[in-house]
């Protein structure tokens, strides 16, 4: 478990996910000197033609009291080079290559135990400095948080490799430009210094929900979700209000802020207000009613919440409208400018929405995608608001050849909302899990969290909560015995 405490300090973590994995293009070869093909099983390394290691493992399984999966088996196959595991094959300038994935913690997964041993040893942790030094020994990418009776602190861990100059962090790199001091025999490289890692001591507060580590820290090259909007803001906004003017929050108040943030629809609080300004006051009675319902929901805090536990959300109509509207709204805002092909390819890189029932999973964790920030920044720019790090162009109301305009954007958003209002909610909320629980097309059930069954043991659905992996509340006594 990535949390713990001594008698007078405590620590916990959230996943970070900075960039510790690179793709290398490794030239293929044949040991007899003949022309290589994309299927060749040897590769070039420092003038040598080395064989690709083939790794295979066969797994089999049989039914048990905890799992009734029928008997079966599988054979796992992997190919390994001095630059990591082969992920694909192709050509670069007509020459065959293997595209490999190299992770800095490969073969060093157990090394992080040194950091955990230190964190769990009260004789070694006497303050923020000791905590940060212990966390720095952890090669995995995590955000670490610390508290004692006098201090709070943060440190971002991870073996961040030092890359060759002028190499891209977004595209495959030639194996001629390996990580600095890369040693394939030991699987080690030069890593960025302790001082370069994001860290802090005694900020007014620390709030994190898997969001970006710090300004100026880049995400992994497969992460397009860090934008100006992130779900941690639902928590940090409440904390800022609670400590405004030098006030302090009690532990129950902080827990209330965490619980209240857990039922927020991030789209409703951070993106919808700008879309409503763009929509204005439509003449169509149905649209005018829909806009009024959405505005009332925003004023109420944008929660997906059933306070009286009658199986229906308090703002059920508004929730339904936004759920049906969101995909149509995003298409109307971005597809005409991006073009259908580019728009569809972008959706394969990052989900357009991360609602509580993404892909029918009922897992609870929600609202982590960059589209919320893309949409909000674009609308803010059209509305004449100040935008830091603005997008390369205005998308809403535009086309491939021209910038978007406020009038065109308003027209397209209104048309998309009108289409959404015509969609049958019962069809939208159709869900296999809800049918199994005899709640077909139930909005509450569509969001509800489903516990994964263990054999014949099952649990009832619970009200949606944007759940973390775990929650703990720790109060440190000032004179706690060590």
Of 212-221, 314-323, 435-444, the range with the lowest mean pLDDT is 212-221
The Cα–Cα gap between 464 and 259 comes to 11
For 414-435, what is the mean pLDDT? Answer: 96
Q: Does 2 have pLDDT greater than 70?
A: yes
Cα separation, 26 vs 89, whole angstroms: 9
**Structure letter (DSSP) for residue 456:** T
Residue 202: is its pLDDT beyond 80? yes
What pLDDT is recorded for position 469? 77
- Residue whose entry in the numeric block shows the structure tokens 């973390």: 468
pLDDT digits (tens, 9 = 90+) for 41-52: 999 999 999 999
Q: What is the pLDDT of residue 233?
A: 96
CB atoms within 10 A of CB 288: 13
- pLDDT for the residue numbered 124: 94
Q: What is the pLDDT of residue 1?
A: 64
pLDDT of residue 230: 94
Overall average pLDDT of the 94-108 stretch: 97
**What is the C-alpha separation between 195 and 182, in angstroms, rounded?**
21
Share of the chain above pLDDT 90, in %: 85
Provide the pLDDT for residue 94: 96
pLDDT one-digit tens code per residue, 277-317: 999 999 999 999 999 999 999 999 999 999 999 999 999 99
203-to-243, 279, 456, 473 alpha-carbon distances in Å: 12, 40, 48, 19
Question: What is the per-residue pLDDT for 470?
Answer: 78
Confidence of residue 456 (pLDDT cuts 50, 70, 90): low
Angle, CA of 431, 433 and 434, to the nearest 5°:
65
Structure confidence at residue 482 as a pLDDT band (50, 70, 90): low
Reply yes or no on whether the pLDDT at 418 is more than 60: yes
Radius of gyration of the chain (CA): 26
To the nearest whole percent, how much of the chain has pLDDT over 70? Answer: 99
Question: Which ranges constitute the DSSP H helices of 170-284?
Answer: 232-242, 251-261, 266-270, 272-279
Q: What was the pLDDT predicted at 403?
A: 92
Q: How far apart are CA 334 and CA 324, in angstroms?
A: 17
| Structure confidence at residue 68 (pLDDT) | 79
- Residue 82's CB is within 10 A of a number of other CB atoms, namely 22
Q: Report d(CA 220, CA 270) in Å as an integer.
A: 24
pLDDT, tens only, 233-277: 999 999 999 999 999 999 999 999 999 999 999 999 999 999 999
Residue 109 pLDDT more than 70? Answer: yes
Question: At residue 458, does pLDDT exceed 90?
Answer: no
Per residue in 67-82, pLDDT (tens digit) is 878 999 999 999 999 9
Average pLDDT over residues 339-343: 96
Q: Judge whether residue 455 has pLDDT over 70.
A: no
The pLDDT assigned to 359 comes to: 86
Q: C-alpha angle with apex 461: 459 to 467, nearest 5 degrees?
A: 105
């Amino acid at each position: 478990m990535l949390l713990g405490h001594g008698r007078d300090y405590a620590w916990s973590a959230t996943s970070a996910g900075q960039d510790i994995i690179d793709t290398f293009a490794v030239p293929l070869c044949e040991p007899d000197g003949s022309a290589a093909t994309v299927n060749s099983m040897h590769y070039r390394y420092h003038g040598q033609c080395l064989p690709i290691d083939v790794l295979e493992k066969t797994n089999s399984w049989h039914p048990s009291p905890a799992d009734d999966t029928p008997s079966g088996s599988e054979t796992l196959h992997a190919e390994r080079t001095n630059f990591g595991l082969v992920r694909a094959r192709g050509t670069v300038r007509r020459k065959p290559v293997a595209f490999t994935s190299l992770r800095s913690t490969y073969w060093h997964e157990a090394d992080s135990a040194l950091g955990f041993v230190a964190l769990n040893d009260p004789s070694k942790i006497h303050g923020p400095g000791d905590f940060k030094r212990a966390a720095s020994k952890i090669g995995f990418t995590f955000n670490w948080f610390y508290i004692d009776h006098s201090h709070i602190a943060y440190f971002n861990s991870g073996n961040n490799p030092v890359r060759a100059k002028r190499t891209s962090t977004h595209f495959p790199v030639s194996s001629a430009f390996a990580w600095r001091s890369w040693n394939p025999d030991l699987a080690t490289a030069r890593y960025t210094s302790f001082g370069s890692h994001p860290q802090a001591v005694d900020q007014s507060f620390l709030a994190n929900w898997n969001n970006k580590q710090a300004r100026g820290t880049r995400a992994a090259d497969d992460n397009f979700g860090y934008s100006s909007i992130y779900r941690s803001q639902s928590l940090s906004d409440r904390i800022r209000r609670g400590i405004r003017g030098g006030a302090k929050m009690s532990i129950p108040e902080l827990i209330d802020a965490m619980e209240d943030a857990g039922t927020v629809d991030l789209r409703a609080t951070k993106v919808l207000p700008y879309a409503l300004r763009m929509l204005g006051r439509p003449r169509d009675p149905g649209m005018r009613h829909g806009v009024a319902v959405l505005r009332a929901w925003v004023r109420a805090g944008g929660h997906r919440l059933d306070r009286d536990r009658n199986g229906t959300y308090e703002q059920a109509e508004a929730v339904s409208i936004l759920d049906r509207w969101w995909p149509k709204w995003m298409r109307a805002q971005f597809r005409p400018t991006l073009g259908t092909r580019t728009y569809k390819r972008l959706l394969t890189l990052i989900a357009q929405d991360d609602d509580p029932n993404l892909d029918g999973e009922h897992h609870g964790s929600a609202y982590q995608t960059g589209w919320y920030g893309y949409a909000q920044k674009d609308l803010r720019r059209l509305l004449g608001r100040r935008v830091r790090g603005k997008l390369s162009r205005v998308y809403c109301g535009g086309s491939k050849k021209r910038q978007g305009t406020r009038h065109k954007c308003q027209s397209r958003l209104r048309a998309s909302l009108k289409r959404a209002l015509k969609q049958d909610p019962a069809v939208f909320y159709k869900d296999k899990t809800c049918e199994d629980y005899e709640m077909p097309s139930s909005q509450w059930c569509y969001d509800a969290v489903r516990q994964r069954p263990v054999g014949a043991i099952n649990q009832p659905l619970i009200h949606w909560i944007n759940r973390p992996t775990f929650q703990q509340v720790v109060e440190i006594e000032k004179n706690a015995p060590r």
